[in-house]
Structure 1
Amino acid sequence: MDADDGEGFGDFRTRKKNIFDDDVSVEAAKKIITSARFDDDDLDDDMEILDLGSSTTSVKFSAGTAPSSKTMPDLSSLATPASSSVPSPANLRINPSAAEPRHSFGSFQKAAGHVRSQSLTIAPLKSGGDMQFPKVNMLRGSNTGSNSSLTIEEAVGTMGRKFGSMDVDQMQQEIIQLRKQLLAARKERWTKMPVDLTLRRIMKGEPYSLENYRALEDKLSLLDKAVTLMDGNAITAAVLHLKKTVKRATFQQELMLRPVAANHYLAYLRGHFEHAELIDTLSMLGRSEEAAIVKYRLACSTGDINTKVSSLKACLRAHFEAEPSLAGDASLIREHIDLLERQRPIEDSDARLEAEGRTKVFLDFPRRFALVNMPVTTTLFYCCLYHYHLQENSFASPVSIKKRHELPERQFVWTAVSARAKAKGWTDIEQLLTAKGWFGGKKLKAAIGFGKVVDILHRFQAPHDILAKYLELVEDLDTRLTLAKKTDCKKAMIETLVKQKDRAGVEEFARKYSATIEAEYARRVLRDEAIRWK
């Protein structure tokens, strides 16, 4: 390196000016480039311009034109990103096999292993006084073997639009306008705006600030005008600002005076699942029943059975027992707690027996669900199916469940008949429907009616002789005939037609089922002279 080269670059390093800085004009960049001689290592360390993708300015050299020291190219576009997909111009050749130049933006080895995606290498200047157009190596990773012959204007046009002086002026004007807007926003933050203007901004969804409403009168004025406008967002924002900036007692007192604002605040708490605050606010507003229901729902949503029982007991003490108006509902909560405490031991015992595989009823009817958290009617059906014969002092006894939860006789009979019909326990059904008559006699009696009993037995595919037995107990003959046809109980059909003295119906039956035993029975009935037909 010549001595003057070292001095020139030393002067450039002293100034520490980067031609891509915002405060460097085009004329200053020209002077810097014309007066500087670049050294290989210094420029690689001091001028971080190798990352061509980070520059927004592009070089504008005319192809085939050798600029001199007096006439420099237009630098309005400088350092256009060089991509492997864009070929090199005619005077900018990719030359991977060329020897390492003496003056370059980094050596060839350094550029090839550079961490950035693109790098630039300028060939040594020719001697002769005037600056010659340099050769350029553009390396991108290991892709160093592609050649092309596009001018740099064509390459720049391919990569993106060039920015002229008018574009720069327009961007400067936009920057000035944005700075004014920023200063105005900063100033407005600390200025208390009129309440109407703030509410209008809230309703339009524009930026707003409530920090400057520090006096209680201003906060209440904001809330009252929001209520007058009947805008939910404005009311909620005013209420939350009031809550955040005043004492809790003051907030509750003002909220009680404004029912509309209180309803919006409660809706906000429900939507954000702030259940503790919701319950406290409802209690404060005197809406104890709503607070109790919210607490009860929270307790029921608990998955763990032990935690659920504890939460229900706490809810019972805190809300239902403490409020006289909820005394009737308190008994229901107690029944719910008793049901859960009854289901826990039954579930544990039955799960163990089913796992052992030695109990016949669990082999014949495998359990499809866990008993815990089931309703009382489902629990009764479960116990009638698996534990029908247990004594009343047992947790799983159906009679015990009926008495504890005060189930009506109709509901108990319907559930028990369904469960025993599923288990094919026809004898149990008969015993269930047997009642004591006068003078110690016994007779069949169904609280749900024998028509419903027949429907249940037919649904669980009871034998025809069982169906016929209960069909005879249906008092209404038309209903009995309809049920007999529905269940296809032919003998019951004939006997019902005889009781109705419908000879034509019996004859039609005999023709329809001519090849059956029941048809022969119908013909014998028709020949019986003791029957008086209509």
Structure 2
Amino acid sequence: MDADDGEGFGDFRTRKKNIFDDDVSVEAAKKIITSARFDDDDLDDDMEILDLGSSTTSVKFSAAPSSKTMPDLSSLATPASSSVPSPANLRINPSAAEPRHSFGSFQKAAGHVRSQSLTIAPLKSGGDMQFPKVNMLRGSNTGSNSSLTIEEAVGTMGRKFGSMDVDQMQQEIIQLRKQLLAARKERWTKMPVDLTLRRIMKGEPYSLENYRALEDKLSLLDKAVTLMDGNAITAAVLHLKKTVKRATFQQELMLRPVAANHYLAYLRGHFEHAELIDTLSMLGRSEEAAIVKYRLACSTGDINTKVSSLKACLRAHFEAEPSLAGDASLIREHIDLLERQRPIEDSDARLEAEGRTKVFLDFPRRFALVNMPVTTTLFYCCLYHYHLQENSFASPVSIKKRHELPERQFVWTAVSARAKAKGWTDIEQLLTAKGWFGGKKLKAAIGFGKVVDILHRFQAPHDILAKYLELVEDLDTRLTLAKKTDCKKAMIETLVKQKDRAGVEEFARKYSATIEAEYARRVLRDEAIRWK
């Protein structure tokens, strides 16, 4: 018979026919399915065809094929011995591993030109053979009706398809072809700007490569700015940057401050500092560009590299911009501080390692001096190098003059450092000032109340505290500090100056067994004192 009549199609291995071709009738397709012998390639081809349906359509087969329609599997099996068991002896081995792919095999057939082949081997010589379990996926892998074993698939090949089944599969194939053609066509079609922006805002797939004209790119950017969606604005700006000249991009960005801010935020988030600094300079935001450059220089770990970066930042931004002249002096001070700290740190580290310097034995260093603030550097030098001359890098007076530290800040830091070192004489000399006619007197820029607080924090002796308590002018403050520091003699003298007899009597009763209490009773007997 002719092939058009659906009869005499022959063996699939020599003459293959697609049951879904336009020139194949329903009756011919039925005969192909019921009478053809399936080898490896045939099974693979037809299974792929049957798998083209959507996830809602299932291909069902009859569970019990007759012996007449059962395909011959002898050509599919790879025998393990010379004796090949008959299909009746085949069985499913539950221990066989389940492949990950549809219609996959455990082993690749040698010389096979297709991507997958099906190999069925016997378990033992003379025993039963096993079929690997194969999932015929038609959608989700988890559906209960979405997979068939190879035994079910092969065993039901003989069922006759109805015209409704064939028509349904043909409709699904036509629908899938239309969707594929539409997707291919849509890729090269310029979609409306509003639709593209809507896709960006919803997180759906989109393409901007079809917006090739400058007007289209600017329209996309302007509408994204109108919608105030950050993702859409950033996508439009990046597309404009990649597809136009840099001069054009900068010109258009300057006209759109909102888009410029989103672009700058993108550069900051992606650590593109070079482009960020160039863009800020282009937009006329010189101060922001200088600050970004300064932060990058400060983040450098190596001290030599940091100094070099700071000098480059000073020349390129702070000295070149007249409006940043005031900040340029601060950058110079920072550079000078680092250049001062570097030799001090090297020298002190060497002296501490030698172990022959008393101050480093009494007060071991807990941190490196490099990269410390100027106040910390001053405290460090007052603790370890207080007596150095002004021409030395580590001289506290030199640090004060170079960085123009206020007198109050210098006195506070120096008194704290010398109190830690128990240098009471140094503190007295620091607070001694020249008076009228060449006289000397104690004077504290921070007030003697603060001096007493600092000395008490570093556990100064009571006689030292009493000396500076007498210099506190306000009597109530002096009495409060005397009680806080537990300086009893100062408490009595303050109460006497306040002419508070009751307070002195209360002190004598409270501390009755002490020398200070006897001193208080002696004061009470003094008739020269006029009490309130």
Counterparts in 2 of 1:42 and 1:148: CA distance versus 1, 3 Å: closer
Q: Please name the residue that 1:56 is paired with.
A: 56
Superposed displacement of residue 203, structure 1: 1.9
Superposed displacement of residue 72, structure 1: 3.6
Superposed displacement of residue 61, structure 1: 12
Deviations 1:416-474 (A, max 9, x none): 00011111111111111111111111111100000000000111111111111111110
Give SS of 1:255's match. helix
8 Å CA contact 1:105, 1:120 repeated in 2: yes
8 Å CA contact 1:491, 1:518 repeated in 2: yes
Counterparts in 2 of 1:485 and 1:216: CA distance versus 1, 3 Å: same
8 Å CA contact 2:452, 2:465 repeated in 1: yes
- Separation (CA, whole Å) in 2 of partners of 1:192 and 1:3: 47
8 Å CA contact 1:104, 1:121 repeated in 2: no
- Separation (CA, whole Å) in 2 of partners of 1:505 and 1:373: 53
Structure 1's unaligned 5+ residue stretches are: none
Give SS of 1:71's match. coil
Q: Which moved more, 1:276-285 or 1:403-412?
A: 276-285
Superposed displacement of residue 185, structure 1: 2.5
Give SS of 2:292's match. helix
- Separation (CA, whole Å) in 2 of partners of 1:19 and 1:331: 87
Give SS of 1:435's match. strand
Please report the RMSD computed on the Cα atoms of aligned residues, expressed in angstroms.
Answer: 8.9
TM-score by length of 1: 0.75
Counterparts in 2 of 1:346 and 1:160: CA distance versus 1, 3 Å: farther
Superposed displacement of residue 183, structure 1: 2.6
Counterparts in 2 of 1:333 and 1:125: CA distance versus 1, 3 Å: closer
Q: Which moved more, 1:216-225 or 1:96-105?
A: 96-105
8 Å CA contact 1:94, 1:138 repeated in 2: no
Match of 2:382 among 359, 381, 384: 384
Give SS of 1:11's match. coil
Superposed displacement of residue 182, structure 1: 3.5
- Separation (CA, whole Å) in 1 of partners of 2:395 and 2:520: 47
Deviations 1:150-208 (A, max 9, x none): 99999999999999999999888666555433332321221112222222222222222
Superposed displacement of residue 124, structure 1: 11
Give SS of 2:528's match. coil
- Separation (CA, whole Å) in 2 of partners of 1:487 and 1:444: 21
Q: Which moved more, 1:144-153 or 1:168-177?
A: 144-153
Q: Which moved more, 1:513-522 or 1:377-386?
A: 513-522
Q: Which moved more, 1:196-205 or 1:110-119?
A: 110-119
Counterparts in 2 of 1:101 and 1:422: CA distance versus 1, 3 Å: closer
TM-score by length of 2: 0.75
Give SS of 2:89's match. coil
Counterparts in 2 of 1:130 and 1:12: CA distance versus 1, 3 Å: farther
Counterparts in 2 of 1:257 and 1:489: CA distance versus 1, 3 Å: same
Give SS of 1:119's match. coil
Q: Which moved more, 1:247-256 or 1:200-209?
A: 200-209
- Separation (CA, whole Å) in 1 of partners of 2:284 and 2:517: 75
Counterparts in 2 of 1:446 and 1:22: CA distance versus 1, 3 Å: farther
Counterparts in 2 of 1:259 and 1:201: CA distance versus 1, 3 Å: same
Give SS of 2:142's match. coil
Deviations 1:486-519 (A, max 9, x none): 1111111111111101111111111111121111
8 Å CA contact 1:26, 1:76 repeated in 2: no
**Aligned residues with identical type, % of pairs:** 100
Match of 1:114 among 108, 112, 115: 112
- Separation (CA, whole Å) in 1 of partners of 2:453 and 2:235: 61
Superposed displacement of residue 369, structure 1: 0.8
Q: Which moved more, 1:472-481 or 1:134-143?
A: 134-143
Superposed displacement of residue 413, structure 1: 0.3
8 Å CA contact 2:211, 2:217 repeated in 1: yes
Counterparts in 2 of 1:504 and 1:372: CA distance versus 1, 3 Å: same
8 Å CA contact 2:40, 2:118 repeated in 1: no
Superposed displacement of residue 113, structure 1: 21
Superposed displacement of residue 253, structure 1: 1.1
Superposed displacement of residue 106, structure 1: 18
Q: Which moved more, 1:309-318 or 1:506-515?
A: 506-515
- Separation (CA, whole Å) in 1 of partners of 2:75 and 2:56: 8
- Separation (CA, whole Å) in 2 of partners of 1:220 and 1:99: 57
Q: Which moved more, 1:35-44 or 1:1-10?
A: 1-10
8 Å CA contact 1:88, 1:149 repeated in 2: no
- Separation (CA, whole Å) in 1 of partners of 2:488 and 2:50: 101
- Separation (CA, whole Å) in 1 of partners of 2:143 and 2:210: 66
Give SS of 2:264's match. helix
Superposed displacement of residue 241, structure 1: 1.3
Q: Which moved more, 1:80-89 or 1:387-396?
A: 80-89
8 Å CA contact 1:191, 1:212 repeated in 2: yes
Give SS of 1:388's match. coil
- Separation (CA, whole Å) in 1 of partners of 2:105 and 2:246: 72
Deviations 1:127-161 (A, max 9, x none): 99999999999999999999999999999999999
Counterparts in 2 of 1:85 and 1:376: CA distance versus 1, 3 Å: farther
8 Å CA contact 1:454, 1:471 repeated in 2: yes
**Pairs aligned (count):** 532
Give SS of 2:444's match. coil
8 Å CA contact 2:99, 2:133 repeated in 1: no
Superposed displacement of residue 53, structure 1: 22
- Separation (CA, whole Å) in 1 of partners of 2:212 and 2:250: 18
- Separation (CA, whole Å) in 1 of partners of 2:26 and 2:138: 29
Counterparts in 2 of 1:419 and 1:17: CA distance versus 1, 3 Å: farther
Counterparts in 2 of 1:267 and 1:71: CA distance versus 1, 3 Å: closer
8 Å CA contact 2:234, 2:266 repeated in 1: yes
8 Å CA contact 2:433, 2:442 repeated in 1: yes
- Separation (CA, whole Å) in 2 of partners of 1:458 and 1:52: 89
Counterparts in 2 of 1:19 and 1:484: CA distance versus 1, 3 Å: farther
Counterparts in 2 of 1:213 and 1:111: CA distance versus 1, 3 Å: closer
Superposed displacement of residue 70, structure 1: 2.3
Give SS of 1:214's match. coil
Structure 2's unaligned 5+ residue stretches are: none
Counterparts in 2 of 1:175 and 1:429: CA distance versus 1, 3 Å: farther
Give SS of 1:266's match. helix
Counterparts in 2 of 1:22 and 1:531: CA distance versus 1, 3 Å: farther
Is 1:195 aligned to residue 197 of structure 2? no
8 Å CA contact 1:111, 1:139 repeated in 2: no
- Separation (CA, whole Å) in 2 of partners of 1:106 and 1:258: 57
Deviations 1:271-291 (A, max 9, x none): 111111111111111111111
8 Å CA contact 1:450, 1:474 repeated in 2: yes
Counterparts in 2 of 1:99 and 1:77: CA distance versus 1, 3 Å: closer
- Separation (CA, whole Å) in 2 of partners of 1:514 and 1:192: 101
Q: Please name the residue that 2:126 is paired with.
A: 128
Q: Which moved more, 1:115-124 or 1:453-462?
A: 115-124
